[in-house]
């Protein structure tokens, strides 16, 4: 075993990395914890120390990826002034992240669908989290006059639906390209809130 019990964070990260590899290759249902043990060079006890079961391990991967997307979006908007520029920067960062991390994206968007109530709740939680992020930037755009007043709660969820469906297609097929998505999707979303340059 390569396990280093002195550093529990590195063990947890190795578990998550190994789980991502196996879940991506075999899917949730066909993955056995023994395969994750073998892949990560860790003990089964270490897995149970960090994650009480396979479901919690999978949900931890979903959370890890959602955190990554949120960090990338926040970093992208840091240099933008308030309003619609932040919306565009966040969308570009999200697409860039999905493109760079296709395997975890597939886990989050595809494999988590239909895995039961726990996973569906987690997926809804992640969707709500990103809809709230979109709502924040839309509220800023309304406040600074970039867009007319709209129900930003409903619009943010509608945008999430559009983004989600386009990204699922992209994760599955690699098409259309990120640039094509930005060129087609962003103007459509902005038009839906009556934004004009």
Sketch the domain layout of the chain as residue ranges: 1-52, 61-192
The CATH homologous superfamily for domain 61-192 is Tetracycline Repressor, domain 2 (1.10.357.10)
The average pLDDT across 61-82 equals: 86
Highest CATH level, class, for 1-52: mainly alpha
Strands (E), 42-190: none
Smallest Cα–Cα separation from 193: which of 78, 83, 72? 83
- The distance in angstroms from the start CA to the end CA of the chain is 59
Tens digit of pLDDT for each residue in 152-168?
999 999 998 998 888 88
Report pLDDT for 43. Answer: 92
Question: What does the mean pLDDT of the chain come to?
Answer: 84
- What one-character-per-residue DSSP string does 71-103 give? HHHHHHHTTSPSSHHHHHHHHHHHHHHHHHTHH
| More confident: 82 or 176 | 176
Tens digit of pLDDT for each residue in 79-121?
887 777 888 888 888 888 887 887 777 776 776 666 778 888 8
Tens digit of pLDDT for each residue in 3-37?
455 555 689 999 999 998 898 888 888 889 999 99
């Amino acid at each position: 075993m390569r396990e280093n019990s002195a550093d529990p964070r590195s063990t947890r990260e190795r578990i998550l990395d190994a789980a991502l590899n196996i879940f991506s290759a075999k899917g949730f249902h066909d993955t056995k914890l023994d395969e994750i043990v073998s892949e990560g060079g860790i003990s089964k006890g270490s897995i149970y120390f960090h994650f009480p079961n396979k479901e919690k391990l999978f949900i931890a991967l979903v959370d890890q990826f959602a955190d990554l997307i949120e960090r990338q979006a926040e970093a992208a908007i840091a240099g933008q002034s308030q309003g619609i520029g932040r919306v565009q920067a966040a969308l570009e960062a999200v697409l860039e992240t999905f493109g760079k991390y296709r395997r975890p994206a597939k886990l989050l968007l595809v494999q988590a669908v239909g895995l039961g109530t726990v996973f569906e709740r987690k997926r809804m939680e992640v969707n709500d989290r990103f809809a709230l992020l979109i709502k924040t930037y839309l509220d800023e755009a309304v406040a600074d006059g970039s867009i007319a007043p709209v129900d930003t709660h409903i619009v943010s969820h509608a945008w999430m639906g559009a983004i989600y469906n386009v990204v699922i297609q992209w994760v599955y097929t690699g098409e259309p390209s990120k640039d094509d998505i930005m060129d087609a999707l962003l103007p459509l979303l902005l038009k839906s809130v009556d934004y004009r340059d």
